[in-house]
Structure 1
Amino acid sequence: MTITQLYYVLAVAENQNFTKAAEKCFVTQPTLSMQIQKLEDELNIQIFDRSKKPIELTDVGRKIVIQAKNIVNESYRIQDIVDQQKGFIGGEFKLGIIPTVMPTLLPMFLKAFIKKYPKIKLKIEELTTDEIINRLKDGHLDAAIAATPLESDFIKERVLYYEPFVGYIPENHRLHTKQKIDTIDLEIDDMLLLEDGHCFRDGVINLCKAFKNQTEETFQLESGSIETLIKLSDEGLGMTLLPYLHTLDLNDKAKKNLHYFNEPTPAREVSIIYHKSELKIQIIEAMQSVISGIIRGAIAFQNVKIISPLPSK
């Protein structure tokens, strides 16, 4: 039995196809099939039911895949130990970022991070929180930046910053004349929200429900982007809430529609998250250090109340 064989098994289990798995592993399909067959012969069992389309794991195959993930991850740790001993910070690093953080945070830290750590080959994807959790669990991401806490047993979280919510309220709205707003002022019925699947949407809903026991989710409009929410609000279709960093690049006309909350300001907690196995922890710590250093100059709010990003039950 070899780690390579277990790696091939995991690839087939994920792709449910030998040809696709071979492409992902950068080997020929006969080579991959032969190695898996050798492993099955050695164990005297069938890991895959090849009669099914797509290919399925057998009952014992499912148990083997769980253990194979542990073994393959632990094998990666050996290289981690060597890298840390040598003080090497480099190699491929797969990072996921949620959509409401990506456009504001990434331009702030990426150039500085690449300059400081040129040997790291970053692969960055914009993913929802659910996608991030699944990919961290399966070992397809090294880390991610997301709103927390996520209350997951296999994920560790390191807080990067607390980002306040800011009201975007057009001139014709009932709250526009208020210099500062309170959470009790919010009404779900006239709130423009992101589409389902965005954790910032869940945070806004949780904020509204917490103070008024509002359970009716009869929204006027939903959108896939914060920029669209701002445009819809400008058309008089309702107000919306923005993450603070999204307000920094607004034009002067749009900034007149910004209304800050009375303290404690509702805010989201943004963290770098990673698997509890702590693979590539030296890169995670390097990224945390760079981001924390940059963000200190951008967000000066102190008295905040963290709003959960988890969907309300």
Structure 2
Amino acid sequence: MTTATATAVHSPQQQLAPGVSVLELLHEGHRINVYDAWSTDRGCRVVAKALRPDHAGDLKGARQLRAEGRVLRSLNHPHIVRWYETIREPSPVLLLETISGFTLSALLEEHERLPIRDVLHLGLHLTSAVGYLHRQGWLHLDLKPSNVVADAGRAKLIDLSIARRPGRGVPGAGTRGYLAPEQSLGHQLSAATDVWGIGGVLYESIVGEPAVPHESGTSTATGQRPGHLIAVPATLKTRRRVPPDVAQMIDASLRLDPAQRPAIIDFATVLAAALGINQVPHVR
């Protein structure tokens, strides 16, 4: 369990809302904490996202929870975390399904990198989930290893807290080290922004290091100094264990100019071909 000050987290057995009690802290955030919790009404464990006790009156955090709930409520996809309920009173609490397995960041911390075949399957799951998001009119904008949970060969996207419609972004809104250049600068955000995110996750899964080096322990930030992430990632094309077409596609997804990045359907087609799969999941 993550160590934290008493005022920053709810204690085990403490109620987040009527019928929802804390079992364990999963993640302590700047405004919002994530808990393993028990729902009496549902008779099962749930993942609960709630404001930190020392941020009980945080209007921005409350809006963020309600907004994420509205997005997730409209979605139904096997590779995206499932929404159960948004409790509004006395303070917003978001209830989500409990997912078995480990975050990709935890797997990479333990194993450093993944087998290529696992990376290819991961890529297919991500392109399927993100392609679905795009068809619903949303961008994820925070694709990174800690927002992917993997178990028994299946990956799921979690944390849609900054998902939004395409359009001009806020400079630096997202996570340091995982921002597409246009995200860092507050330029126009589009499907290509998430293509960068998918490429970055696959790159790190293959290499064991982020495509764009960043300080460890950094978290979601808004308004960070925009110039420091505008760097060309090292290419994968010289790595012998990566199928050439896959390496070329990942490298293309990390191009600085979003107009030069591949479409998600093309990304998925190359990944499927490398696995010998003829039918590509619908990701347009």
TM-score (norm 2): 0.22
Q: Which has the higher contact order (CA 8 A, sep 6+)?
A: 1
Rg: which structure is higher? 1
Higher relative helix content: 1
TM-score (norm 1): 0.21
